[in-house]
Structure 1
């Protein structure tokens, strides 16, 4: 599981910082999460192939999380994209994007699908044989969802010594990986657990931005591998977090601790602070394993 931070600062872009956008690679799938201004420039800087992006997840309709979307969609068109593109986001995102495309006479030559979200309950919005994505309902000034990305580790590890001992043909290996028992020529049935080892524990990634401190999301985050949680403010400005419906670094750490997360990744910093290390220091008073997001940072888990 690899995460590339394209932008992780709050509100407005600056010459040295970018608003929210991330690329998650999980099980050979690539997902773009949020698309603030400058996303496509950051994609180029980080040498990420545009053609690999087939699914874009938008958390909410505040500009620092989606103003780069129409530009990226238009660039895909200029690059003669043929593959389908799926956009997941709050109801209204289709109207906003199509209006801009229509008034600029910039229609795509590829299929553009919008999956508009309205539910205030968690729901599955994407699933294939390797990954499932669920919404994490968040509390912000507008309708907002985080996203939970879950590996589906159903392939078991082959016990080659046991397989060779029973002289099982290689054509059955795939069946064995997916839990199948094997019947030998003499009629004996070899149960799968004698031919395989348990798979690696499935990894998971939770993206939570933007939101006020909200313990109701903890059941959805339980035992998550990596939790990205917004930390717009430090504890000294908690009153601003409440007023703007954001969180502090200490509050993000409380969520991570209550959810028994393995790793907490902080981001969405207010640019009022001179050093983002202060966010890590504050969070570590509550939760030990804290990583700071920063523009251009690649993290492998």
Structure 2
């Protein structure tokens, strides 16, 4: 699993910082999460193939998470895309995009599918054989969702020596990898655990931006491997965080601690601060495993 940060700063793009957008590579699927202004430029800088992105997840309809979407959609057409593109986001995102395509007469060369979200409860919005995606209802100034990406467990790995020792026919191998016990000709039942090895643990990634401190999300993200949680402000500006329905680095760390996640990534920083290290120091007072997102940084898990 690889996470590439295209942008992770709040509000407006600046000379050296970009608003929110990131690409999650999970089970050989590339998911674009949020699409702030300049996203397609950052995709090029980070050498991410446009053609591999078939699903885009938008957390909410604020510009620093959305204003790059119409440009990205348009560029896909200019590059001759024919593959379907699925866009997930709050109700209204379809109207917002289609009116721009209509007035600019820039209809796509491919089919666009909009999956508009309204529920205030967590729900499954994407699922295939290897990955499942659920919403994480957040509390912000407009309707907002985070997203939880979960790998489905791989099939078990066959212990070749064991199946040969029990003289099990190759026709049963797939059944064994799927987790079944095997009954031998003499009636002996061989437990699956004696014939297979455990697969690698399935990994999970939770994206939470933007939100005020909200413990209601803890049951949804409990025991997640990687949590990206917004940390717009430091605790010294906690009053401002509460007013704007954002979080501090300390609050993000408290969510990580209470949810028992393995790793916390901070992001969505206000550009009022001179550097990022104070965010890390503040969070580490509460939760030990803290990483700092920054534009162009990739994390592999």
TM-score (structure 2 length as normaliser): 0.97
* Alpha-carbon distance in 2 for matches of 1:260, 1:189: 39
Cα 1:81–1:198 shift into 2, 3 Å: same
Cα distance in 1 for partners of 2:39, 2:134 equals 23
2:124 matched to which residue of 1? 124
Q: Which residue of 2 aligns with 1:203?
A: 203
The alignment partner of 1:264 has SS state of strand
CA RMSD in angstroms, aligned pairs only: 1.3
Q: Which runs of 5+ in 2 are unaligned?
A: none
- What is the CA distance between 1:27 and its match in structure 2? 1.2
* Aligned position for 1:113: 113
Q: Displacement of 1:17 after TM fit?
A: 0.5
**1:4-48 residue CA offsets vs partner (Å, 9 max, x unmatched):** 000000000011000000100111111110000111111111111
Q: Deviations over 1:254-294 (max 9, x none)?
A: 00000001000000000000011110000001000000000
1 CA distance for matches of 2:45 and 2:183? Answer: 54
Matched, 1:9 2:9: yes
1:293 aligns with 2:293: yes
Task: Assess if the C-alpha contact under 8 Å between 2:154 and 2:200 holds in 1.
Answer: no
Residue 141 (structure 1) aligns with: 141
Residue correspondence of structure 1 range 10-25 to structure 2 within 5 A: 10-25=10-25
Q: For residues 38 and 168 of structure 1, what CA distance do their matches in structure 2 show?
A: 57
**CA shift at 1:166, angstroms?**
2.4
**How far apart, CA to CA, are the structure 2 residues paired with 1:203 and 1:57?**
19
Other structure's SS at 1:15 match: coil
Q: Which runs of 5+ in 1 are unaligned?
A: none
Instruction: Say if 1:139 and 1:245, in contact at 8 Å, map to a contact too.
Output: yes
Aligned counterpart, 1:100: 100
Structure 2 residue 239 is matched with structure 1 residue 239: yes
Does 1:271 find its partner at 2:271? yes
| Shift in Å, 1:191 | 3.4
Offset, 1:221:
1.1
Alignment partner of 1:49 is 2:49: yes
CA offsets per residue over residues 222-247 of structure 1, 9 Å max, x none? 11100000000000000110111000
CA contact (8 A) 1:4 1:299 kept: yes
Which residue does the alignment assign to 2:223?
Answer: 223
C-alpha displacement of 1:201:
2.0
CA contact (8 A) 1:265 1:290 kept: yes
Shift of 1:171: 4.8
In the alignment, the residues of structure 2 paired with residue 259 and residue 187 of structure 1 have an alpha-carbon distance, to the nearest angstrom, of 46
- The answer to whether the Cα contact below 8 Å between 1:149 and 1:204 also exists between their aligned partners in 2 is yes
Secondary structure of 2:213 counterpart = coil
Task: Check the 8 A contact 1:154/1:178 in 2, yes or no.
Answer: no
**1:177 Cα deviation from its structure 2 partner:** 1.6
Greater displacement, 249-258 / 198-207: 198-207
Deviation for aligned residue 1:181: 3.4
Measure the CA separation in 2 of the matches of 1:169 and 1:48. 44
The equivalent of 2:39 in structure 1 is 39
Does the CA contact (< 8 Å) of 1:182 and 1:189 recur in 2? yes
Provide the secondary structure at the position in 2 that maps to 1:34. Answer: strand
Match of 1:158 in 2: 158
- Distance between the aligned counterparts of 1:173 and 1:47, measured in 2? 40
What does residue range 183-202 of structure 1 map to in structure 2 within 5 Å? Answer: 183-184=183-184, 189-202=189-202
TM-score (ref. length: structure 1) = 0.97
